[in-house]
Amino acid sequence: MKSRFFHFYLAFVWAIVLSGCSDGNASAFFYSSTLDQRAKDEQPAVLKTLEELVNIESGTNDAIGIPEMGNYLERRLQALGAEVTRTPATGGVVGDVIVGRLKGRGGRNVMLMAHMDTVYVRGSLAKAPFRIEGDQVFGAGIADAKGGVAAILHALALLKAENFQQFGTITVMFNPDEERGSLGSNEVIQKLASQSDVVLSYEPGGIFEGTELFVSGTSGVAFVEARIRGKASHAGTSSEKGVNTMTEAADLILRTQDLHDRKQERAFNWTVIQGGTAPNIIPALTVVTADMRYGRNEDLAPFEAALRERVQKKRLEETSIDLQITRLIPPYNATPASRAAMDKAMSIYTEVGGKLAILEMRTGGGSDAGWAALSGKPVVEGLGLIGANHHSSEAEYVQISAIPRRLYLSARLISELGQGL
């Protein structure tokens, strides 16, 4: 959800500790010139795939685009030799969770995941078509996360060309609702992650001053709705007989301002307010909604308690407030095993001249890495193609020159993790 997810707060980057930059020695022995050249040769095919993906308008719950995307991805996985299953998303979510499985000759089980949905509504393609300008390729959802989908498909194509079989199972998962919190697909994500030894997630990679970044943590996300009920009356002749829910809503917004505390890795922002029926009527109902983010699973309960406490400190006692808190995506925090896999990736990346480091600061957004991490298995986030301006309509893009080295990174990382190296 980022939706969101890799919106790095560049104003604070000077305070970020970039750790674990490899000196390039650990994996230099394993450099494959053949794989490097194949990754470079694969770039035109990746651009073609990106064009095909962008041209399928797959906004979350799009009744046309999401099924079309599912069919497309099923065909692509089958062409790679995968056994494909489809599981309908739950909770009224449109589309299926597409799962492809490749069987190896023995080794560790690796899971690769990316989401097929975007934040863009149908019709956005007309404003944000696929186009190439210099070293950038643009399109609605091209970085978040169609670039991740393409990276998975073509990394597997490279491994197939090398007849790589030294793994237990490679499981690929594409879900249709990450931008809405994966509420209809998270059970599948958790199940597949629990059956795997390591999970690689393909949200877009970030970059700052030439160094590409892994994230060490993402935020948990919750949705808050407060329905405030009072009493209507005529605003001119009998306003004192009414109970103004908009007044209570305004006070609620003010008395919860201190919940937003970056030092405690909390973010709390009221984002929508709806109320009133006419300019001359005291509103009997006002609904306010908020975005709530937190750093660790154990932080949510005290965060909720603090919010409920403030809700009860009403300005107008005659009002009633119904508070609903819906958990969306849990937070992701890199474990020592996750960091070991990141270290391996950073070392691999130097083989093709890339620079990777760990962003030692929590990003403001959430991702499916949080659902996968509930399994207790190591998760690496941010392996998608390098891009920027996510969710920004016609400005979203992927960096073309970075495509070959990102493919090399994925293929080599999958290979090493699959062999247990």
230 contacts: CB under 8 Å, gap ≥ 6? 242, 243, 244, 245, 248, 282, 283, 284, 285, 286, 316, 318, 319, 320
User: Do 329 and 370 meet the contact criterion of CB atoms below 8 Å apart?
Assistant: yes
- 378's torsion region: left (phi>0), alpha (psi -120 to 50) or beta? beta
Instruction: For residue 404, give the H/E element and its range.
Output: helix 403-419
**Cα separation of 185 and 176, whole Å?**
8
Annotated active-site residue in 42, 51, 144, 178: 178
Strands laid side by side in the 131-133 sheet:
131-133, 136-138, 397-399, 387-388
Annotated active-site residue in 36, 57, 96, 117: 117
Q: Which two tokens stand for residue 143?
A: 């970085």
Task: Respond yes or no: is residue 57 known to be catalytic.
Answer: no
**Cα separation of 44 and 323, whole Å?**
52
**Cα separation of 26 and 319, whole Å?**
65
Task: Respond yes or no: is residue 178 known to be catalytic.
Answer: yes
Give Cα 358 to chain centroid, integer Å. 17
Residue 19: what residue type?
Answer: S
Catalytic site positions: 117, 178
